[in-house]
Amino acid sequence: MAKILTHPYLQSLLTKLRDKNTKYSVFRDIVRDSGRYMAYEISRELDFKKVTVETPLGIAEGLVFCSDIVLIMILRASLPLVDGMMEIFKHARVGVISAKRIEEKKENNTIFNVVIPYERIPDVDGKTVIIADPMLATATTMIEILKRVKERGKPKKIIIATLIASEYGVNRIERLHPDAQIYTLAIDKELNENGYIIPGLGDAGDRAFGTS
Ligand code: URA
């Protein structure tokens, strides 16, 4: 089951991202903030171990974060999202994947394929792999990335962190990769004929980098 992060502060960031009047530089900052707070929320379900520490006046019980994290950044839209997550997961190793969606018109249908011109994934064996992509739309790119991550090794846990997912994308991931846990701020109902999420927030890469 996909988990929707319902914290009102995160939801207020999402509202600003959806607003078409949010300027690209502000959009980019808010994606970074969203990445930071999403990582904070996700960390609840990761590994901590009990320790004791010596304060200047005695001994106290405490916790240290001990999940070994691999963050996967998908160029280019996930750059600010991963940047924000790295502020929480400071020791994360980072994999970079460049993915390009290719649209193919067949009769009345548009088919989406994906090509990966560049890929550099660290060792994932026994690690918690977090794949960050702002939009989980058709899930075609995500399915290709999950395949490549699993070819690389056997992660302890796989997490998909996304700002907005479509119902269609969530259903595809749950069917094909039930071991991947999706965290999102919203699940929108529709996809348009170009594979964009409706109402969504538009093209996350264009909105973050001021291109269109
Ligand atoms: N990628 C985006 O940036 N936006 C969408 O709505 C779908 C895919």
Write the CATH number for 124: 3.40.50.2020
Place 143 in a pLDDT band, splitting at 50, 70 and 90.
Answer: very high
- The whole domain housing 121 covers 2-209
The tokens for 21 are: 């009047």
Q: Is the pLDDT of residue 93 over 80?
A: yes
Q: Is the pLDDT of residue 105 over 90?
A: no
Spatial separation of the C-alpha atoms in residues 132 and 145, rounded to whole Å: 11
User: Full-prediction pTM beyond 0.75?
Assistant: yes
142 C-beta neighbours (distance < 10 Å), count: 27
Task: Identify the pLDDT of residue 183.
Answer: 98
CA of 78 to the centre of ligand 1 (A): 11
Q: Which helix (H) or strand (E) holds 97?
A: strand 93-106
**Interval 76-89 mean pLDDT:** 97
Q: Whose alpha carbon is nearest atom 7 of ligand 1?
A: 196
**Interval 5-16 mean pLDDT:** 98
Q: Is the pLDDT of residue 208 over 80?
A: yes
Spatial separation of the C-alpha atoms in residues 137 and 122, rounded to whole Å: 26
Q: Whose alpha carbon is nearest atom 4 of ligand 1?
A: 203
Q: Residue 21: helix, strand or coil by DSSP?
A: coil
Q: What is the mean pLDDT of the chain?
A: 96
Place 104 in a pLDDT band, splitting at 50, 70 and 90.
Answer: confident
Spatial separation of the C-alpha atoms in residues 39 and 46, rounded to whole Å: 10
Cα distance between the two ends of the chain: 34
Mutate to test the pocket of ligand 1, among 203, 207, 209, 212 (most ligand atoms within 8 A of CB): 203
Atom of ligand 1 nearest to the CA of 207: 3
Q: Is the pLDDT of residue 109 over 80?
A: no
User: What's the structural domain count of the chain?
Assistant: 1
